Structure 1
Amino acid sequence: MTDAYVAIEGERIIEARARSPGTARGEIVFTTAYTGYEESLTDPSYAEQVLTFSYPLIGNYGVREERFESDNVQPNAVVSRELTDDVAEWLESEGVPAVDHLDSRDIVTEIRDEGAMKCGIAAGPDATEEDALAELHECKHMSDHVDIGKQVSVDEHTVANEDGDGKTVALVDCGAKGSITSSLVERDAVVHRLPYDASEDDIEAIDPDLLFISNGPGDPENFEQAGEIVEEYVGDVPLAGICLGQQVVANALGGRTTKMEFGHRGVNQPVRDLRTDRVVMTTQNHGYTVADPGDELEITQVNVNDDTPEGLENDELGIITRQYHPEANPGPNDSLDFFDDVLALAEE
């Protein structure tokens, strides 16, 4: 049954089955993760994107809220070879269009060969090809979403583990996954979660032992305020960053970031530590990368597949950043010691 249409750049139309009705647009990307679909679908880094699963069956162990990384489904739409009823009903309850019964491998291959593309989706009994094309024509490039941080950040300052005895962390929330906070709280840190556009006064009021820039969606150059915070406190307060956070730190300290062809999204990305030559498997979700770290930051880890920077450090300034997700939800736990390392910075 065809009652859904996916339109991608070049005005190619792919017929599909509607599992959650509606229209949507966004940059179409793929993840190679074969488990952890609940975490992926609630990851704020997927905002303004259409998420395609390369694994053919999504939903084979149900939907459990305790696995969520945020309060909402984050992609604008979802594409899969097959979605179970549990996932389809969840997406419909969230108002997120979803389609299946198409060749997702073909879409993944096209994204791999052509890069992430604009996409429009129309799903439901009244959907037409023209509806999908209309969405495609209205779709913007990720870099054009200049205030995307407002969509995914907290609205106001919140505190986790307020009575903890550990270090005080100022977490600038550019779209933070919930498990970043959990990983810090597990180590007894007091985590002050601040909006993406937090001011220097907000940081001063906390007097943190550690400044932490979170992951998030889109172009790091659109997170100017977070970069200004880094510039203000570098050398005075230890700095950590994950994913978009690494890119923001690099830009703020004279480096340069660039958009990747199709990014890294999955739970099986190999990373090599240049100091120890150890390789770990990591969870990743990003479409931008550090092209040049500048003079202040040393590349300490690289992606085995394409040599892009996965870790940046400056021992004298007290900076540790990672392009991947050490909290690893979903994914392998090879790099959880990152949180011990950054809290040790604060101890020093």
Structure 2
Amino acid sequence: MDKNIKAKLILENGPTFNGYAFGHIKDTVGEIVFTTGLTGYQETLTDPSFAGQIVCMTYPLIGNYGINLEDMEAEKPHLSGLVVRSKCDYPNNWRCEIKLEGFLKQNKIMAIEGIDTRALTRFLRNNGTTKAIIAIDNEELTEEYLKEKFDSYSNIDVISQVTSKEAYTIEGNGLHLAVIDFGIKRGILESLKKRGCKLTVFPAFSSVEEILKVNPDGIFLSNGPGDPYYIPQVIENIKELVNLRPVVGICLGHQLLSIAFGCKIERMKFGHHGGNHPVKNLETGRCYISSQNHEFVVSELSEEVMASWVNVNDNTLEGIRHKSLPVSSVQFHPEASPGPLDTGFIFDDFLKIIAEGGNKNA
């Protein structure tokens, strides 16, 4: 542990934690969340759904197998900061290409270690998600500076930061899917590629006309960060698309699809982040362990859809299915990286819905 650079983690509505800075040394602000994955810190770091957030890893030792370029979920990290109990300075894994600290420096991510992450997690569970600042411990940390830093934080335009800049195609011999990219993880694209799909990936704010121009067999709504209500134009597009093609969604895509059908969404107290969330299939009654990363949840269904999955821990909704249209979605991540492999069959179910739903002409 480098004790040369003292730092503080300052919660807007809570305590201050003392530690030591590493990575890119520059004060940062974000919404702080905790994630419970025992492994997969690289996938967490590069998951676009963490954009604008400071992530606390509840597992105490982070960096012990280093970083490699093959397991990246995006080209670069989008999170605002990282909090760990202890970082590993000497990783031991044959696939390691760069140390954790070097990766954070390279991508300009501020981090802090030496924090009591158990106490921090308990606070967030009891009091809810809040803004936080990781800052160098010096005389400049005045009340005025902290207020200005907190007030500067906004995650409203976060989708535009993580979506693809232009459409691109991944060739395949199977179903042709139009993938709407709200910050898609590479693991999702890989899961669809393995099933032979041809994928045309569109930026989040592409028009219905642009999407239908490639004549896809179905529409896939990806994961992503932020509040689904902040992108009303996307919701209007989805309202149109569900009547023209089969549509499936994951995570943010699930929330947007639910809103399009008149369901209500609410912010959770501290969200679901990690690879150990049990979910129950309401059709079969069988439970699976899922990987999740979200702050919002469908709190009220409309008459058009039915619940298909539920969280065993807190009974929150984990999936919907339309009563007549070939449309469904889940809140959790079937590609499961980081996390278990229990729910990979969800992709097969999605593709079956699309295949059986037909291809309506616009």
Alignment TM-score, normalising by the size of structure 2: 0.91
Question: For 1:137, which of 134, 138, 150 is the aligned residue?
Answer: 150
Shift of 1:31: 0.1
Residue number in structure 1 paired with 2:40: 36
* CA-to-aligned-CA distance 1:246-295 (integer Å, 9 cap, x gap): 10000011111010000000000000111111000000000000011211
Residues 1-348 of structure 1: matches in 2 within 5 Å?
1=3, 3-10=6-13, 12-20=15-23, 21-85=25-89, 86-123=99-136, 128-130=140-142, 133-134=146-147, 136-140=149-153, 145-161=155-171, 164-314=172-322, 316-348=324-356
- Greater mean deviation of Cα atoms: 15-24 or 26-35: 15-24
Amino acid paired to 1:88: E
Residue number in structure 1 paired with 2:94: none
* CA-to-aligned-CA distance 1:44-90 (integer Å, 9 cap, x gap): 00001000000100111111111110011121000000112321221
User: Runs of 4+ in structure 1 displaced over 6 angstroms?
Assistant: none
Partner of 2:239, secondary structure, is: helix
Q: Distance in 2 between matches of 1:139 and 1:265?
A: 25
* CA-to-aligned-CA distance 1:123-147 (integer Å, 9 cap, x gap): 48x685339725653354xxx5332
Amino acid paired to 1:6: L
Q: Distance in 2 between matches of 1:113 and 1:136?
A: 24
Shift of 1:315: 5.2
Partner of 2:349, secondary structure, is: helix
Partner of 1:206, secondary structure, is: coil
Q: How many residues align?
A: 342
Partner of 1:334, secondary structure, is: coil
Structure 2 contact 305–323 (Cα < 8 Å) conserved: no
Amino acid paired to 1:104: T
Shift of 1:223: 2.3
Shift of 1:10: 3.0
Structure 1 contact 242–325 (Cα < 8 Å) conserved: yes
* CA-to-aligned-CA distance 1:297-342 (integer Å, 9 cap, x gap): 1101100011111111125200120100001011111111111111
Amino acid paired to 1:145: N
Structure 1: segments with no counterpart, 5+ residues: none
Pairwise CA RMSD of aligned residues? Answer: 1.6
- Shift of the 107–297 alpha-carbon distance from structure 1 to 2, 3 Å rule, reads same
Q: Distance in 1 between matches of 2:237 and 2:227?
A: 17
- Shift of the 297–127 alpha-carbon distance from structure 1 to 2, 3 Å rule, reads farther
Structure 2: segments with no counterpart, 5+ residues: 90-98, 357-362
- Shift of the 341–91 alpha-carbon distance from structure 1 to 2, 3 Å rule, reads same
Identity %: 36
